[in-house]
Structure 1
Amino acid sequence: MKDKTLLILSPSYPNEDESFIAETFVKYQVAELKQYFKKVIIIAPVLRSFGYLKKDRLCKDYTYDNVEVYYPRCIYIPLLWLSKIAIDNRLQVVERCIKEHHLHFDLIHAHFTWPSGYIGVRLKEKYGKPVITTIHENGDWFDQEVGTDHPLINTAWSGADALIRVNRKDVPVLKRYNEQVYSIPNGFSPAFHPIDTAVARERLGLPRDAKIIFTLGGLIKRKGFNYLIDATEQVCSQRDDVLCFIGGAGPERGSLQGQIGRLRLGEKVKLLGSVPSDILPLWMNACDIFVLPSLSESFGVVQIEAMACGKPVISARNRGSEEVIVSDLHGLLVEPADSEDLAEKILMALDREWNPEAILAYAERYTWDNIGKKIVDVYIRL
C-alpha cells in the first residue's frame, strides 16, 4: 500500500508537543501503520470554545514524517445523548477540512462508533472509499449503544466495510449488524520496556525499599479508584511498607482526595495528576504491581503496558481484563467493586515471587508490530 493514503478519523489526537494528550493509543497505532502508506491523514475535530478549553487552545495542525494532523473546529451541543441533539456540525467540518486542504485518500479508518464511525460511513458514500471502524467503547458504553437501537449507531456499524472490536466477547453481537467483524486488541508502544526498578525509582524520587502499587486512568467513577483506596487501607493495616500512586486527572479527584483524608492515608496514597507519556514507562517500571480496579473496559491497554515492563497486573473482571489476564503467571483477577477481594489479591501479589521473563514473553503478542500486521491484513482485504 506504499502508494495509498490512509485517512484516520478520531475524536481526539495528541497535539505536537503533547501538552494535550488524549487517545494516545491512536498515535501509537499510527506510528506502526504509517510505514505501510505513502501518507496518513488524521482529522480530529475540536470543540470550539473561543479559547476557554485547553484542547481548543493547544490543538494546532501539524505534520511529522508522512503524517498530517488536522484539528477543524466544531460545535456540538447534545441535549440528551443521541436522542436529541441541538447542534452537531462535526460531519460538515470534516468534509470542509477535506475540501479546503485538498485531501485525497484511499481508505478510511474511524476510531469509536460515534461520531467517527458514522462520519466515516458518510464519507464512504460521498467519496466511494472503504471504511473500517474500530470500536473502543468500554463494556457499559457498548451495551448502551446496542440497547438504544439508534439509527445513527446502526448505520455506523452496518454501513462500514469492516468492524474491529478490541475484545472477542462482543464480536457475536456486532455480527448482527455486519458480517465483517474482526477481534484485534490494542498494542503497546516500544517506549514500554524493562528498566531496572532501582533506576526508575531513583529518577522518580521514590524509596527503593517500599512496595509500590501503581495505577493509571481518568479520575472518573467507572475506573473504581475508590475501591483501590479502600483496599490500600486494608493492605496497610497488615504491612507498613506499601505505597499506592494513582496517575490521572478528572472530576473525581476531589472526592478521592477526601477519601484519602478520611482514611488517614495521606502518607500512603498519592494522586499524581496527569502523567506525561515520557514519564509513564518509569512509573510502570518503578512499581511492584500494577492494579486496574476499573468496573468496565473494552480491553485496558495500560495492563499490557505494565506487562511490557515485566510487571504483574491485578485487575477487576470488567469484560476486557479477562481477555488479557488469562493465567496467574501474569496477574490476578478480582471481583469488581470488591475492596476486600482486591486487598487480598494485592497482599498475595506482594508476597509472591513473579517471573518477569514469563510476563514479558506473554506481552510480546501485543507489540504494535504484531497488532499492526493484523490491522493491515484487514486493510488489504478491502
Structure 2
Amino acid sequence: MVLSDHYLTFVKDQVELLAKTFAHTDVYVRYHPATEISRVLSIPRLKSFRKDSLIDRTNLPGNVSIHPTPLFYLPCDHQFKRVGERYYNTVKNRLQRSGAYPDLVHAHFIWPNGFVGAMLKKEYGIPFVVTAHGYDIYDLPFRDAEWKERIEAILNAADVVITVSNSNRECVERLNVTAPVKVVPNGFRHDQFYPMGTETCRKTLNLPVDRKILLSVGNLVEVKGHTYLIDAMSEVVRERMDVLCLIVGRGELKHRLEKKISSLGLEQYVRLVGGKPHSEIPLWMNASNVFVLPSLRESFGIVQVEAMACGKPVVATKNGGSEEIVTPGKTGLLCDAADPQGLAESIVRAIDAPWDASAIADEVGPYSWASIGKEISWTYSSLI
C-alpha cells in the first residue's frame, strides 16, 4: 500500500516502477474535496485540490489501483493537526470492507500519511516505511512542541525512514529519532528526459528561435522564489535584450506575478505560460538554453535533475537541495537565495558560458529511476 498527497509525479513513477515486484499495489491518494468551497469562499489555494486534477492514470499498470481519499479541513495549522485520526479511520474502514490487508505500507510525507502508516503498523503489524519529502521534515516538526512530538512518534514507529536529500537527513538528526534513516533521492524518467533538438522543440511549442530562453518550472507559490526571478530579469535585460524567461506552473501567486511583470515593463521578456502536462515538460526543457531554480527552499528539486538530463545547465539558489545536485562550473551555477542581483549575474554568466550538454546529461545518470528503484526495492525486500 502507498499513501500519498495527490498522485505526485515522483510517487507515480516510483509506483509504476515497483508495481511489477508485487501482486497488487493500492495507492491511497489524499485530496481535499474543495471544488465548491473554493468557489464560494474564493480560496484560490484550494482549487488545486480537486479530485479530477489529482489522478494521472496514464500508463497505469493493471495491478495498481488508485483510491482517491477525501479529507476535508480548513487551510490552517490548527485544523491540519487534527486530520490524522479521521484519515486513518477512512483508510481503515476501506481496508476492512475489502478484507485485503497489505504486506507493506509506504507513506509519502510524514503527516498525515505517515500517521496512517504508523497506526496500521501498530494495529495490524504491517511493516511501515515513510519518506520525508520536504516541508514535513524541515518545517512541521519545528513549528511547536506538539508538532515535534507527533512527527518524532511517527518516525520512530517506522521500520525505515527515507529522506530525499542529506539536508533532509540533517533535519531528522535534529529530532529524537532512533529509527534507521536512508537517503534515497527522487528519480527521473530517462525515457522522457533526454537531449532533443532545441530548434525543433521551439517550433513545436511556437517559441522564438532567435532568443536565449530561460526556463523555470514550479508551482506559483512563495517558496519557489519566482518573485526574485522576475526582479532578476529586470537586471538581466540591462545586460542583454535577446532573452526570454518562461515560467511553467500554476498557483496562487499568478496574478501578483503578472502585476509585477507589468510594473517592471518585462512583458516582452517574462511569460507565465501556465501549468503543463508532465509529459510535455521535456519539450520545454529542451527548448531552453538555461534552466533556473530560484527556490527559497528545496528538499531535492527533481526538476533541475530533469533539466540536466536534457543537457541543460542549471542556475539554482543555495536552497538546501540544489547544493547536492549542481556542480558549479560543470553542470550549472549556484547563488544565494532571495538575492535578485546575484541571480541575475549567474543567469548572464550561464548564458555566455560554453557548456558540455553531454557531460551535463551524464552527470545525472545515478538519479534515473532504474538506479533509484533498486535501492527502494531492496528496502522493501528487507522488511517483507
For 1:213 and 1:45, how far apart are their aligned partners in 2? 34
For 2:56 and 2:309, how far apart are their aligned partners in 1? 32
Kindly indicate whether residue 122 of structure 2 is the aligned counterpart of residue 128 of structure 1: no
Distance change (3 Å), C-alpha of 1:352 and 1:83: closer
**Residue range with higher mean Cα deviation, 178-187 or 42-51:** 42-51
**Residue range with higher mean Cα deviation, 42-51 or 338-347:** 42-51
Instruction: Please report how far the alpha carbon of residue 102 of structure 1 lies from its aligned counterpart in structure 2 after TM superposition.
Output: 3.1
Report the aligned-residue RMSD: 2.2
What does 1:292-331 correspond to in 2, within 5 Å? 292-331=293-332
Distance change (3 Å), C-alpha of 1:165 and 1:59: closer
For 1:61 and 1:341, how far apart are their aligned partners in 2? 38
Match of 1:165 in 2: 163
Is 2:138–2:171's contact at 8 Å kept on the other side of the alignment?
no
What does 1:91-130 correspond to in 2, within 5 Å? 91-130=88-127
Match of 2:208 in 1: 207
Q: Which amino acid aligns with 2:88?
A: L
Match of 1:16 in 2: none
Q: Which amino acid aligns with 1:370?
A: S
Render the CA deviation track for 1:352-377: whole Å, top value 9, x for unaligned.
Answer: 11001111111111000101111112
Kindly indicate whether residue 5 of structure 2 is the aligned counterpart of residue 11 of structure 1: yes
Is 2:74–2:80's contact at 8 Å kept on the other side of the alignment?
no
What is the TM-score with the length of structure 2 in the denominator? 0.90
Instruction: Please report how far the alpha carbon of residue 147 of structure 1 lies from its aligned counterpart in structure 2 after TM superposition.
Output: 4.8
Q: 1:74 aligns with which of 62, 71, 74?
A: 71
**Residue range with higher mean Cα deviation, 189-198 or 297-306:** 189-198
**Residue range with higher mean Cα deviation, 196-205 or 147-156:** 147-156
Q: 2:138 aligns with which of 134, 142, 146?
A: 142
Match of 2:43 in 1: none
Kindly indicate whether residue 31 of structure 2 is the aligned counterpart of residue 30 of structure 1: no
Render the CA deviation track for 1:272-323: whole Å, top value 9, x for unaligned.
Answer: 1111112111001000000000000100010001011010101000111111
- SS of 1:163's partner is strand
Q: Which amino acid aligns with 2:9?
A: T
For 1:126 and 1:51, how far apart are their aligned partners in 2? 36
Distance change (3 Å), C-alpha of 1:210 and 1:163: same
Is 1:162–1:178's contact at 8 Å kept on the other side of the alignment?
no
For 2:81 and 2:114, how far apart are their aligned partners in 1? 19
Instruction: Please report how far the alpha carbon of residue 132 of structure 1 lies from its aligned counterpart in structure 2 after TM superposition.
Output: 0.5
For 1:60 and 1:304, how far apart are their aligned partners in 2? 24
Match of 2:180 in 1: 180
Considering fraction of residues, name the structure with more helix.
2
Structure 1 gap segments, 5+ residues each: 1-6, 14-22
For 2:168 and 2:280, how far apart are their aligned partners in 1? 34
Q: Which amino acid aligns with 1:179?
A: A
Render the CA deviation track for 1:39-58: whole Å, top value 9, x for unaligned.
Answer: 21101132234756561355
Instruction: Please report how far the alpha carbon of residue 245 of structure 1 lies from its aligned counterpart in structure 2 after TM superposition.
Output: 0.3
Q: Which amino acid aligns with 1:168?
A: N
Distance change (3 Å), C-alpha of 1:148 and 1:278: same
Q: Which amino acid aligns with 2:188?
A: F
Structure 2 gap segments, 5+ residues each: 38-46
| Aligned residue pairs, count | 366
Render the CA deviation track for 1:11-42: whole Å, top value 9, x for unaligned.
Answer: 211xxxxxxxxx11110111211122222110
- SS of 1:365's partner is helix
For 1:188 and 1:61, how far apart are their aligned partners in 2? 17
Instruction: Please report how far the alpha carbon of residue 86 of structure 1 lies from its aligned counterpart in structure 2 after TM superposition.
Output: 8.1
Instruction: Please report how far the alpha carbon of residue 103 of structure 1 lies from its aligned counterpart in structure 2 after TM superposition.
Output: 2.7
Render the CA deviation track for 1:99-132: whole Å, top value 9, x for unaligned.
Answer: 2233331111000010011110001112211111
